[in-house]
Amino acid sequence: MTKLQDLNEVGQSVWYDFIRRDMLTGSGLDDLVATGIRGVTSNPSIFEKAIADSNLYDDQIASLKELEPAEIFEALAIDDITAAADILRPVYDASDGHDGFVSLEVSPELAHDTSATIADAMRLWSAVDRPNLMVKVPATAAGIPAIEELTAAGLNINATLMFSLSDYEAVAMAYIRGAERAADPTSLASVASFFVSRVDASTDAALEGVGSDHALSLRGRAAIANAKVAYNRYQELFEGERFAALKAAGTRPQRVLWASTSTKNPEYNDVMYVEDLIGPNTVNTAPPATIDSFIDHGTVKADSLLVDMDEAATFIDSLPEVGIDFDAITETLQVDGVESFADAYTSLLGAIDRKRLQI
């Protein structure tokens, strides 16, 4: 078996955090599935790189040149997502709806508008029309009620841009409340995308700002500790009384998904956010380079996520004593994440418009 298949055997699914048309028209995604990839995720930044930095979409842009750039992008994205969903459908069927998903994000321009997010998600769900689609909704203040309403309506939701325990708790409870209202909660699948490496990047910078030997010795620990704290809360919610009735009726728990798992600091182990976050009923969505690195020299550390969970909570709680406002860091990371995706979306539309005019 491959290392990715070994991860699946110990309870973690690996999804591919990248999409581009040439991996859908050739055997690329099929080959990835054969090695153990169990799903695909996308976001505005990924689509920006795929469409703006290649000529793979130029012919279709030419055929749609009378449309507005946003309409052209949606047509391109829906075609890619639909093709990926069809390739992954055997995984979805064989796993009884546990894996085989592809994610498509609502417009990042709607991150602070609940009703518009709900409408956009419903429209995308209908347009793709595949049971193994997950619609990505950001875990903003406006996104949380949208996640509940969309879950209640029977949509599969990938709740994204979570950086803190409070973000995670809000998303998990939104899923549970939505599932309790759904006509058939047993058909639901959902993940809570908890971002990892960006937490270390920001916390390390703050620790370097403090500058003491003790502060510097804490670098590279916050992200994994933060993830373990969130997973501990997952266990409390989904393995405890709050979810018990839904679980007994056959409803799936909302899995925690580790996102932003490429290592930003070259001094750190380049697969640390894979090796140290392996646990039951989790997902790791990683970019191609990280997956290649893990296959090359990574180690499958079964249940590494469960090690030193109490110490992880103690570490996060101790950061204010060093002068680190961790809550402010994670709050800023979500704000910046929303803005980053909105900027990528704007840049993408500009690139499409330029291609359209050139054509």
pLDDT at 130 over 90: yes
Q: What percent of the chain has pLDDT over 70?
A: 100
202 near 332, Cβ under 8 Å?
Answer: yes
What are the pLDDT digits (tens) for 145-155?
999 999 999 99
Return the pLDDT at 359. 79
Per domain, the residue ranges of the chain are 3-358
As a whole number, the mean pLDDT across the chain is: 97
154 near 186, Cβ under 8 Å?
Answer: no
299 Cβ contact partners less than 8 Å away, ≥ 6 residues apart: 275
Spatial separation of the C-alpha atoms in residues 189 and 169, rounded to whole Å: 17
What are the pLDDT digits (tens) for 247-299?
999 999 999 999 999 999 999 999 999 999 999 999 999 999 999 999 999 99
Q: What percent of the chain has pLDDT over 90?
A: 98
Return the pLDDT at 64. 96
What's phi and psi for 252, nearest 5 deg? -75, 140
Cα three-residue angle 244-193-222, rounded to 5 degrees:
105
Mean pLDDT of 92-105: 98
Mean pLDDT of 60-72: 95
Residue whose pair of structure tokens reads 């640390």 in the numeric block:
272
Return the pLDDT at 145. 98
Mean pLDDT of 292-317: 98
pLDDT at 117 over 90: yes
Mean pLDDT of 162-174: 98
The domain 3-358 is placed in CATH, from the list 3.20.20.370, 1.10.10.2840, 3.20.20.70, 1.10.150.120, at: 3.20.20.70
pLDDT at 126 over 90: yes
The residue type found at 317 is D
Short-list 356, 354, 339, 357, CA closest to 45 = 339
Spatial separation of the C-alpha atoms in residues 277 and 313, rounded to whole Å: 15
Return the pLDDT at 315. 98
Spatial separation of the C-alpha atoms in residues 345 and 108, rounded to whole Å: 7
Question: How far is the first Cα of the chain from the last one, in angstroms, to the nearest whole number?
Answer: 47
Spatial separation of the C-alpha atoms in residues 208 and 109, rounded to whole Å: 34
The residue type found at 345 is Y
DSSP category for residue 220: T
pLDDT at 306 over 90: yes
pLDDT at 358 over 90: no
Active site residue 247: no
Mean pLDDT of 168-190: 98
Spatial separation of the C-alpha atoms in residues 290 and 17, rounded to whole Å: 10
pTM, entire model? 0.97
Short-list 87, 103, 100, 101, CA closest to 43 = 103
What is the band of 217 on the pLDDT scale with cuts at 50, 70, 90? very high
Return the pLDDT at 266. 95
Mean pLDDT of 96-116: 97
For residue 350, give both structure tokens: 């500009």
Catalytic residue among 3, 49, 65, 136: 136
The enclosing H or E element of 343 equals helix 326-358
